[in-house]
Structure formats: structure tokens, C-alpha cells
Amino acid sequence: MPQDIYQAIADPTRREIIDLLAHQTMPVNDVAKRFEISRPAVSKHIKILNECGLVVIQKKGRKRFCRADTRKLREIAEWANRYRKFWNEKLDALEAMLEEEEN
């Protein structure tokens, strides 16, 4: 079953994995070495990120290499920006109203 992308990025370890893989392609074992959790736990996080399309895994020989797919991250950023604009407008209106009341 595909994972929910927003639940996936809610986990701080998965966000760290995305940050790490956004800058370089790495074998799963090298990713696991960067964390204080077990190799199977890191693999599970990577699997969830892969199911969401946030991480791509390519097999080369016996190693599995991971990289972040930033296209999905852009989709998330665009979604969040719609709400940022909405709240900025609401807060600007509240600020204007408060300034009027002070005068």
C-alpha cells in the first residue's frame, strides 16, 4: 500500500534522510551509518520514502543506491505555499485592524 507523503515527512528521521540524499546518492549501508538507529530501522524509513516517491533506489551489483527525488518535494512546497499566502493575508488584515483600534 502506498504511504501518505505527508505522514512520511512528518517523521524527523525521514526528513534527515531526505536532507542527506538531496545532496548525494548513497548506498543504504552508508545512509544507515549516519544514524544512531539500527540498519533495519533505516531501511524501513527508506522503504517508506521510496513508496512515497521521495527516494529512488537503484540496484548496482549487490548494493542499493538511494537518492532523493526533489520533484515530489517541490509538490509539497507548492501545496504549503498556498496556505502560507492565505495565512499571511489573514495576519496582515489582523495587524491592520489592531493598528486602527490603537489610533
How many whole angstroms separate alpha carbon 24 and alpha carbon 65?
10
pLDDT tens for each residue of 13-59: 999 999 999 999 999 999 999 999 999 999 999 999 999 999 999 99
- Which three-class secondary structure state does DSSP give residue 56? strand
Mean pLDDT of 54-82: 90
What pTM was computed for the model? 0.76
pLDDT at residue 99 greater than cutoff 60 = yes
pLDDT at residue 2 greater than cutoff 70 = no
Q: Are 56 and 66 in contact (CB under 8 A)?
A: yes
Q: What are phi and psi of 59, to 5 degrees?
A: -90, 130
pLDDT band for 70, please (50, 70, 90 cuts).
confident
pLDDT band for 74, please (50, 70, 90 cuts).
confident
Q: Within 10 A of 54 (CB to CB), how many other CB atoms are there?
A: 26
Domains of the chain, CATH where assigned? 5-102 (1.10.10.10)
